[in-house]
C-alpha cells in the first residue's frame, strides 16, 4: 500500500495491535480519525497521552488509578470487611458494572503459573494476607475465573489466608465453567455474587 504516508502506516500498525481491530479495520479507524482530525483525533491522542502518563496501579488494591490510591480504596462508604479478589482490572470493572459489591478489591494481576515464573509474590498474596489481618476483614471473596489455573490460584489464596481466620467464599452459580469473568453480563455476575458459597 503506497497510498498512505509512512507516518500514517505506522499509526495503522499500532492501531492494528488493539484487540478487536485487524489490519483492515485499523485502516478504516485511522481514516475515520484523519477525517475528524480536530474533533476526534487530537482529543483522543490527548486523552491517550494523559492516561498513559498519569495512570498507575493503586498502591492498595492494584486497580488502575491516576493518583496513588484508587477511588474505590478511598471511598469511605465502602467497607474493608469484604475484599473481592480478582485476577485482572477488567474483572474489577465487570464486578463494578454489576453494581452490588460495596467492599474493596485485591487485583492479583494474573494467576499462579510457576512455569511462567508467576508465584504468590507476583500476585501480591502476602500483601493481601497482611491487609486482611490489619483491617480485620470478615470475608474474602475469591472471584477468580473457573479455569484450572484460576481455581488452583483460589485454593492457594484460601490456604494462605487460613491463619487470619477470615472467611473465604467464591462466586457460585452463573459462572460458566472455563469462562472468563470479564465476558459475563451484569445479571449473571450479580446472581453469582448473591449465591456465593463458602470455599
Interacting residue ranges for Zn ion, rule: CB under 5 A:
58, 60-61, 63, 70, 73
Does 42 participate in binding a copy of itself (rule CB under 8 A)? Answer: yes
Q: Select from a copy of itself, Zn ion, none the partner in contact with residue 61, using the beta carbon and a kind-dependent cut-off of 5 to 8 Å.
A: Zn ion
Specify the stretch interacting with a copy of itself by CB under 8 A; choose among 31-39, 149-157, 159-167, 172-180.
Answer: 31-39
- In the complex with a copy of itself, which residue's Cβ is closer, 34 or 148? 34
CA atoms within 13 A on the CB side of 132: 27
- In the complex with Zn ion, which residue's Cβ is closer, 68 or 185? 68
Q: Say how far apart CA 7 and CA 12 lie, in whole Å.
A: 9
Q: Select from Zn ion, a copy of itself, none the partner in contact with residue 32, using the beta carbon and a kind-dependent cut-off of 5 to 8 Å.
A: a copy of itself
Query: Minimal CA–CA distance to 153: which of 140, 135, 166, 163?
Result: 140
Beta strand pairing call for 64-65 and 82-86: unpaired
Cβ distance 94 to 182 under 8 Å? yes
Amino acid at each position: 500500500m503506497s497510498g498512505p504516508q509512512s507516518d500514517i502506516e505506522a499509526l495503522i500498525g499500532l492501531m492494528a495491535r488493539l484487540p478487536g481491530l485487524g489490519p483492515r479495520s485499523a485502516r478504516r479507524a485511522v481514516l475515520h480519525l484523519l477525517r475528524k482530525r480536530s474533533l476526534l483525533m487530537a482529543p483522543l491522542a490527548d486523552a491517550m497521552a494523559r492516561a498513559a502518563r498519569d495512570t498507575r496501579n493503586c498502591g492498595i488494591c492494584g486497580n488502575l488509578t491516576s493518583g496513588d490510591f484508587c477511588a474505590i480504596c478511598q471511598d469511605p462508604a465502602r467497607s474493608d470487611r469484604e475484599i473481592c479478589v480478582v485476577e485482572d482490572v477488567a474483572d474489577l470493572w465487570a464486578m463494578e458494572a454489576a453494581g452490588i459489591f460495596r467492599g474493596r478489591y485485591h487485583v492479583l494481576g494474573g494467576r499462579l503459573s510457576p512455569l511462567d515464573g508467576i508465584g504468590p509474590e507476583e500476585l501480591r498474596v502476602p500483601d493481601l494476607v497482611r491487609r486482611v489481618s490489619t483491617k480485620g476483614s470478615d470475608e474474602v471473596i475469591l472471584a477468580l475465573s473457573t479455569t484450572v489455573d484460576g481455581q488452583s490460584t483460589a485454593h492457594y489464596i484460601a490456604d494462605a489466608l487460613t491463619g487470619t481466620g477470615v472467611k473465604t467464599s467464591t462466586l457460585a452459580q452463573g459462572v460458566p465453567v472455563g469462562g472468563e469473568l470479564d465476558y459475563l453480563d451484569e445479571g449473571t455476575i450479580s446472581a453469582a455474587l448473591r449465591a456465593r458459597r463458602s470455599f
